[in-house]
């Protein structure tokens, strides 16, 4: 039966003996072998009681099996919900409960810690890892073909949770066509073919590593060198076998920090792409000076997939995110009125196209606040077009920190800090960081006569919050700067503490 996403990304590769994944030990997984396992996983989903439309939450270390589970969800019509492996049990509980996931698949090493949470949320627990796990055992001996469930372009394929300014995460509902239309555009725009070999060291629980990198490779029938994480030694060792790489800016600064990363090493490379956070013009220029390659920067969001990209053939302009992708409308608007601003003026970036999501799961008011009736999504990013029409992201109209490509919403941390013993109030800000671009700094105001125990507070945060969200520094002040309306002036705090990590 026809399945819009599965047929295009996966189904067409049946019998294809070309390598899909190249593993760190040099072993290869062909497209055909991958699809046979994915079909067994589709049967295992059925055996676990999962039907079309059910949510499958997955917090699994990066491994080929996780992509096979994504394929199995597409083939059965289940909704794939990947989760950051750094999330603590408290964080995961919210996603499983909010999404109503019927199945929660976690890493074998964390089953004991997460079992009670799954039971409380009414989700069945299975485990999965490279070559191991109860879900793998469930798939063992299942048929290697599966009758694909019919699904159309508007049917949901994935939920990705994004944090919110109120501190509550929102489940972005992505359809089959949101994913497929964007992958098609990117393959074409970035000229991926079946001769490409992508160096893949990103996590696969976010848009960048999964829906951009992996879907582009699947659609093109290309191969990926599938590395567990960013490790400069591994990247440098595998670079000669690759044609292209995608990364967040930290990938590029870490490579530049390594003297083994030379122009000779990458002379054969076709393309380097950066996104998820601003790439400093300085990094772009240093990269070109070292290698002769101009990094291609693009701009996207969880809710929209990719919106803009620098050109493949034309000038890749440092400090800009290029032009709207084909089929995507991008405008810069007045934040108050929504009116389109003249070229050059700074305003909120709004986007519309087949890439834009369907709304937030069970949050109609939030959806209405951010998704206009005419289909434009209000990104919350501030931008302007330069004289040649390149989009420049100049800042954010939302209180958001991006650390090493991970989004962190200060409100979530402030709510915890405000409740800490001896703390009257707090403000969490992002400050420049040489490795992560930005990092988290917390400013605390004590209750009168109290002096909060910062080590105890840090330890408490450590058990609730993923490591990447935890403040790298906490400072205690007498009061927070406020404007006449009583609003905390975070810009003043950012200025005061801007050199904390330089
Ligand atoms: C790990 N740590 C971090 C981060 N990552 N702290 C702050 N920010 C981070 N991003 C912490 C760990 O808990 C640990 O803490 C220490 O830093 C080192 O951990 P390690 O595992 O060695 O991590 P790393 O190798 O340093 O990781 C840095 C990284 C990684 C390579 C930048 O975070 C990464 O791969 N980021 C990519 C994120 C991504 O894919 N974003 C796309 C979102 P301790 O030192 O205490 O032990 S999708 C998106 O944004 C949109 C759609 C788009 O446009 O793409
Ligand atoms: P996420 O919610 O994880 O999808 O993150 C999306 C946000 O990342 C966007 O709203 C931007 O603020 C930021 N972002 C992504 N790509 C870029 C880029 N190339 N330059 C600046 N910011 C970016």
pLDDT band at 501 (very low <50, low <70, confident <90, very high): very high
* Residues 8-35, mean pLDDT to the nearest whole number: 98
Which ligand gives the minimal distance to the CA of 231?
Answer: 1
Contact (Cβ atoms closer than 8 angstroms) between residue 368 and residue 348: no
pLDDT on residue 434: 95
Q: Is the pLDDT of residue 12 over 90?
A: yes
Distance 62 CA to ligand 1 centre (A): 14
* Residues paired with residue 457 on neighbouring β-strands, in sequence order: none
Q: How many helices (H) and strands (E) does the chain have?
A: 15, 25
pLDDT on residue 164: 73
- d(Cα 343, Cα 388) in Å, to the nearest integer? 10
Pocket of ligand 2 (CB under 6 A): 162, 207, 275-278, 297, 299-302, 321, 379, 381, 393, 396, 402, 407
Q: Which of 369, 403, 400, 359 is nearest to 160 (CA)?
A: 359
* Residues 425-450, mean pLDDT to the nearest whole number: 97
366-381 pLDDT, tens digit per residue, is 999 999 999 999 999 9
Atom index in ligand 1 nearest the CA of residue 300 equals 54
Q: What's the full length of the chain, in residues?
A: 502
Q: Which of 304, 239, 257, 247 is nearest to 279 (CA)?
A: 247
- How confident is the prediction for the chain on average, in pLDDT? 97
472-482 pLDDT, tens digit per residue, is 999 999 999 99
Strand (E) or helix (H) holding 251: helix 249-256
Topology of domain 31-152, CATH = Rossmann fold (3.40.50)
Q: Is the pLDDT of residue 99 over 90?
A: yes
pLDDT on residue 420: 97
pLDDT on residue 320: 98
pLDDT on residue 157: 98
Q: Is the pLDDT of residue 167 over 90?
A: no
Name the DSSP class of 198: E
Distance 45 CA to ligand 2 centre (A): 33
pLDDT on residue 398: 87
Pocket of ligand 1 (CB under 6 A): 202-203, 206-209, 229-230, 248, 250, 275-276, 300-302, 403-406, 436, 467-468
Distance 398 CA to ligand 2 centre (A): 12
* Residues 134-138, mean pLDDT to the nearest whole number: 98
* Residues 207-223, mean pLDDT to the nearest whole number: 98
Task: Tell me which residue has its CA closest to atom 9 in ligand 2.
Answer: 301
Distance 129 CA to ligand 2 centre (A): 29
Specify the range with the lowest mean pLDDT, choosing from 120-129, 155-164, 355-364: 155-164
Atom index in ligand 1 nearest the CA of residue 305 equals 52
Per DSSP bridges, beta strands 156-162 and 170-175 are antiparallel
Q: Is the pLDDT of residue 360 over 80?
A: yes
Topology of domain 401-496, CATH = GMP Synthetase; Chain A, domain 3 (3.30.300)
Compute φ and ψ for 231, nearest 5 degrees: -145, 110
- Percentage above 90 pLDDT, the chain: 97
- The pTM of this model reads 0.96
Helices 89-99 and 454-464: crossing angle, nearest 10°?
A: 40
Contact (Cβ atoms closer than 8 angstroms) between residue 362 and residue 349: no
Task: Tell me which residue has its CA closest to atom 4 in ligand 1.
Answer: 468
Q: Is the pLDDT of residue 277 over 90?
A: yes
Q: Which of 144, 148, 217 is nearest to 3 (CA)?
A: 148
Atom index in ligand 2 nearest the CA of residue 393 equals 21
| Domain boundaries defined on the chain | 31-152, 401-496
Contact (Cβ atoms closer than 8 angstroms) between residue 187 and residue 11: no
- Reading phi first (left if > 0) and then psi (alpha if -120 to 50, else beta), residue 133 is in left
Q: Is the pLDDT of residue 382 over 80?
A: yes
Q: Is the pLDDT of residue 165 over 80?
A: no
pLDDT on residue 480: 97
């Amino acid at each position: 039966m026809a399945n819009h996403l599965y047929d295009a990304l996966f189904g067409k590769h049946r019998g294809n003996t070309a390598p899909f994944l190249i593993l760190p030990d040099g072993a290869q997984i062909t497209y055909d072998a991958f699809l046979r396992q994915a079909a067994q996983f589709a049967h295992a989903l059925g055996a676990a009681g999962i039907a079309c439309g059910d949510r499958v939450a997955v917090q699994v270390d990066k491994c080929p099996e996780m992509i096979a589970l994504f394929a199995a969800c597409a083939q059965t019509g289940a909704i794939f919900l990947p989760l950051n492996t750094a999330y603590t049990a408290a964080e995961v509980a919210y996603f499983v409960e909010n999404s109503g996931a019927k199945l929660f698949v976690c890493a074998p090493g964390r089953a004991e810690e997460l079992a009670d949470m799954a039971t409380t949320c009414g989700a069945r627990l299975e485990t999965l890892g490279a070559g191991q796990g109860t879900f793998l055992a469930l798939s063992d001996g299942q048929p290697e073909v599966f009758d694909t469930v019919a699904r159309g372009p508007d049917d949901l394929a994935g939920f990705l949770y994004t944090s919110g300014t109120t501190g509550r995460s929102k489940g972005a509902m992505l359809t089959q066509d949101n994913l497929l239309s964007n992958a098609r555009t990117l393959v074409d725009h970035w000229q991926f073919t079946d001769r490409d070999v992508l160096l893949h060291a990103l996590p696969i629980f976010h848009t960048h590593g999964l829906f951009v990198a992996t879907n582009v490779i699947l659609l093109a029938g290309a191969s990926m060198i599938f590395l567990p994480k960013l490790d400069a030694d591994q990247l440098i060792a595998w670079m000669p076998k690759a044609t292209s790489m995608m990364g967040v800016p930290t990938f590029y600064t870490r490579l530049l920090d390594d003297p083994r990363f030379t122009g000779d090493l990458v002379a054969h490379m076709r393309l380097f792409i950066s996104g998820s956070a601003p790439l400093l013009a300085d990094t772009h220029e240093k990269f070109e000076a070292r290698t002769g390659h101009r990094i291609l920067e693009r701009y996207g969001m969880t809710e929209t997939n990719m919106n803009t990209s620098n050109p493949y053939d034309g000038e890749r302009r440092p400090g800009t995110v290029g032009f709207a992708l084909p089929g995507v409308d991008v405008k810069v608007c007045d934040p108050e009125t929504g009116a389109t601003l003249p070229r050059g003026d700074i305003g909120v970036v709004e986007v519309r196209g087949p890439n834009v999501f369907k709304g937030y799961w069970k949050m109609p008011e939030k959806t209405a606040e951010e998704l206009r009736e005419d289909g434009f999504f209000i990104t919350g990013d501030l931008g302007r077009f330069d004289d040649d029409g390149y989009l420049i992201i100049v800042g954010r109209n939302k209180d958001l920190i991006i650390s090493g490509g991970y989004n962190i919403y200060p409100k979530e941390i402030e709510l915890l800090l405000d409740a800490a013993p001896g703390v009257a109030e707090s403000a969490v800000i992002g400050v420049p960081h040489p490795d992560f671009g930005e990092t988290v700094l917390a400013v605390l105001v004590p209750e009168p006569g109290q002096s909060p125990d910062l080590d105890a507070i840090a330890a408490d945060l450590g058990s609730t919050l993923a490591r990447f969200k935890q403040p790298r520094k906490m400072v205690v002040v007498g009061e927070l700067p406020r404007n006449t309306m009583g609003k905390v002036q975070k810009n003043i705090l950012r200025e005061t503490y801007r050199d904390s990590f330089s």
